[in-house]
Amino acid sequence: MKVYRAHQLMMRSLSKVIPFPRPKLLTGAGCVSELADHIKQKGLKRVLIVTDSVLMGLKLLDTLTASFDKHNIKYTIFDEVQPNPTIKNVEDGRKVYLKNRCNGIVAFGGGSPMDCAKMIGARVRNPYMSVQKMRGLFRVFIPIPPFYCVPTTAGTGSETTIVAVISNPETHEKLVITDFKLVPKVAVLDPELMVGLPKHITSTTGMDALTHAIEAYIGHNGTKFTNGNAEEATKLIFENLEKVYHDGSDLEARSNMALASFYAGLAFTKAYVGYVHAIAHNMGGLYGVPHGLANAIILPHVLEFSAEAAESKLASLAIAGGIGKSTESERELSHRFIAKVKAMNENMSMPTTIKELKESDIPLIAKRALAEAHPDYPVPTFMCQSECEDLIRKLLP
C-alpha cells in the first residue's frame, strides 16, 4: 500500500506542474449553432460527426447541421455508437472518417459518442496502435485531428477530461485510455439539447457527475484547483439535479447541471476517481450496466466503506454543498452527506441493486476492479479482495 501511495504522490506532483489542456467553453441556450464559427476559423474541409442513432431519431442534431450548412461546412455523420461504446464502434467510425477524407471530428451526444470520437481520432492518427495498445496512461502518441464536443447528457464530463472509456466485448472489460491529446478544442454546453433527456438518464448521468466530484474530493490527490471545482459541482448538483429530474424543461437547472458535470470533469481528470468507478466500469464491461446507473447504486456503499478515513473531507463537502454548517461535528456532517446521497437516489427512484449481478461473478469483478484501482486511484482507504467482494455482494438482486 505504501508503494501505491508513493505512486499517487508522484502523479499528484506531476499533475500540479503539467499544464492540462482545457477546452474553450460555449454556454447558454442555443449556443450549439456558434460552434460552426470555430470550425470555420480552423478551415476544416469536412468533419465527421460522431453520434448515436437515438439522437439522430430525435432530430437533435438539426440545429448543428443547419448551422454547418449555413457556413458551408461539409460533414459526414457516423451514428453507430452504442452505449458503452466498443472497439468495433471505434474501428467502424475510423473507416468512415478515412473514406470521406474528413479532417476534424465533432462528438455529439453523451459520454459514449464523446469517448468513441476521441478514440476514432486517436486511431486515425496512430494506425499502428490498436485501442487495446493505447490503454493506460499517455499512449496516444500522435495528436488527434481537431476535435469538438457537444455533450447532450450532464454526467461524464468527457468534454473536458483526458479520458476515453471503450468496451472490449471479447473480454467483457472496459479499457480506460488516458492522454492529454484527447481533450477537445471547444466544449459546447447547450441546455436546450438536454431538455428531452428521459428522467432515468437525467438522474443516472447526474449521479455520475456527483460521483466524479466526490471521488476526486475525498481521494488523496486533490489540489486547491480540483477541490474548488468538486465543491462547486457538488453544490450545483445538490441544488439542481432533483429539480431537473422533476422538470426536465427547466433550462436554468439544465445549464447548471451541464456546468456541474464540466466542473466535476475538471476535478477528476486531475485528481482521479476511486472504487465506485473501478467497480462500475466492471459492471459495465461484464453486463452492459449503464455507467451512471452503476455509479449511483455503488456510491453509497463505497462512501460507507470510506466513511471513517474520509470523514473530514465528507464533512467539508457537506458544508460546500450547502447541507451543513462548520459549527457541526465532522461525524455528523459526514453521516448527513452519505444520507443525502441515499435520499437523492431514493427520490429519483434509483434501484438499490444491480439486476444482472450473479454471485459467481463477484470474485472476478472484485479482482478486476482492484486491478483497475491499484495503484492509480488515490482512494481514501484501501480495500482488499474480500472487502471488495463483500461490498459487491450487497448489490445482489
Ligand X SMILES: NC(=O)c1ccc[n+]([C@@H]2O[C@H](COP(=O)([O-])OP(=O)(O)OC[C@H]3O[C@@H](n4cnc5c(N)ncnc54)[C@H](O)[C@@H]3O)[C@@H](O)[C@H]2O)c1
Residues 6+ apart with CB under 8 A from 41: none
Give least dist CB 6 to ligand X, A: 26
C-alpha cell at 309: 478515513
Give least dist CB 167 to ligand X, A: 7
Give least dist CB 324 to ligand X, A: 28
Asked if 196 contacts 58 with a C-beta cutoff of 8 angstroms, the reply is: yes
- Where are the strands (E) in 91-208, listed by range? 104-109, 136-137, 147-151, 163-168, 173-178, 186-189
Sites for ligand X among residues 76-95 (CB under 6 A): 83-84
State yes or no: residue 282 binds ligand X (CB under 6 A). no
- Candidates 115, 159, 208, 372: give the one binding Fe ion (CB under 5 A): 208
Q: Which residue has the cell 491499484?
A: 374
Closer residue to ligand X (CB): 3 or 18: 18
- Candidates 220, 291, 301, 336: give the one binding ligand X (CB under 6 A): 291
> Which residues share a beta bridge with 80?
52
Q: Which residue has the cell 422533476?
A: 246
Residue 78 belongs to what H/E stretch? strand 74-78
Closer residue to ligand X (CB): 273 or 366: 273
Give least dist CB 112 to Fe ion, A: 12
- Candidates 93, 104, 121, 155: give the one binding ligand X (CB under 6 A): 155
Q: How far apart are CA 51 and CA 55, in angstroms?
A: 7
| 247, amino acid identity | D
Give least dist CB 106 to ligand X, A: 15
Using the contact rule CB under 6 A, the part of the chain among 155-163, 227-235, 249-257, 340-348 near ligand X is: 155-163
Q: Which does 112 bind (CB under 5 to 8 A by kind): Fe ion, ligand X, none?
A: ligand X
Asked if 255 contacts 307 with a C-beta cutoff of 8 angstroms, the reply is: no
Closer residue to Fe ion (CB): 179 or 208: 208
CB-count exposure of residue 326 (10 Å: 0-12, 13-18, 19+): exposed
Closer residue to ligand X (CB): 44 or 60: 60
Closer residue to Fe ion (CB): 159 or 208: 208
Backbone torsion region of residue 177, taken as left when φ is above 0, otherwise alpha when ψ lies between -120 and 50, otherwise beta: beta
Residue 50 belongs to what H/E stretch? strand 46-50
- Candidates 36, 102, 193, 320: give the one binding ligand X (CB under 6 A): 193
Give least dist CB 117 to ligand X, A: 10
Q: Which does 131 bind (CB under 5 to 8 A by kind): ligand X, Fe ion, none?
A: none
State yes or no: residue 140 binds ligand X (CB under 6 A). no
Give least dist CB 100 to ligand X, A: 23
Nearest C-alpha neighbor of 37 from the set 210, 186, 197: 186
- Candidates 21, 136, 169, 196: give the one binding ligand X (CB under 6 A): 196
Q: How far apart are CA 85 and CA 198, in angstroms?
A: 20
Sites for ligand X among residues 97-126 (CB under 6 A): 109-112, 115
Q: Which does 350 bind (CB under 5 to 8 A by kind): ligand X, Fe ion, none?
A: none
Closer residue to ligand X (CB): 203 or 227: 203
Going by their DSSP bridges, the two strands 46-50 and 74-78 should be labelled as parallel
- Candidates 152, 226, 240, 334: give the one binding ligand X (CB under 6 A): 152
Nearest C-alpha neighbor of 40 from the set 177, 186, 166: 186
- Candidates 158, 203, 221, 255: give the one binding ligand X (CB under 6 A): 158
Q: How many residues bind ligand X (CB under 6 A)?
A: 31
Preceding omega of 19 cis (within 30 degrees of 0): no
Q: How far apart are CA 281 and CA 368, in angstroms?
A: 9
CB-count exposure of residue 188 (10 Å: 0-12, 13-18, 19+): buried
Q: Which does 391 bind (CB under 5 to 8 A by kind): Fe ion, ligand X, none?
A: none
Instruction: Summarize as ranges the residues that interact with ligand X (CB under 6 A).
Output: 52, 54-55, 58, 83-84, 109-112, 115, 152-153, 155-158, 161, 163-165, 193-194, 196-197, 201, 205, 208, 284, 291-292
Instruction: Summarize as ranges the residues that interact with Fe ion (CB under 5 A).
Output: 208
